[in-house]
Amino acid sequence: DTAVSQTPKYLVTQMGNDKSIKCEQNLGHDTMYWYKQDSKKFLKIMFSYNNKELIINETVPNRFSPKSPDKAHLNLHINSLELGDSAVYFCASSQGFTSYGYTFGSGTRLTVV
Partner 1 sequence: DQQVKQNSPSLSVQEGRISILNCDYTNSMFDYFLWYKKYPAEGPTFLISISSIKDKNEDGRFTVFLNKSAKHLSLHIVPSQPGDSAVYFCAAGMSGGYQKVTFGTGTKLQVIP
Among 55, 61, 82, 84, binds partner 1 (CB under 8 A): 55
Find the binding residues for partner 1 in span 22-41 (CB under 8 A): 35, 40-41
* Min dist. Cβ of residue 15 to partner 1 (A): 25
60 is a contact residue toward partner 1 (CB under 8 A)? no
For the chain, give the DSSP string.
--SEEEE-SEEEE-TT--EEEEEEE-S--SEEEEEEE-TT--EEEEEEEETTEEEEE-S--TTEEEEEEETTEEEEEE-S--GGG-EEEEEEEESSS-SS-PEE---EEEEE-
Binding window for partner 1 (CB under 8 A); candidates: 13-21, 45-53, 65-73, 77-85: 45-53
Between 16 and 42, whose beta carbon lies closer to partner 1?
A: 42
99 is a contact residue toward partner 1 (CB under 8 A)? yes
Give residues with Cβ within 8 angstroms of 29, minimum separation 6.
71, 93, 94, 95, 103
12 is a contact residue toward partner 1 (CB under 8 A)? no
Among 44, 52, 67, 77, binds partner 1 (CB under 8 A): 44
13 is a contact residue toward partner 1 (CB under 8 A)? no
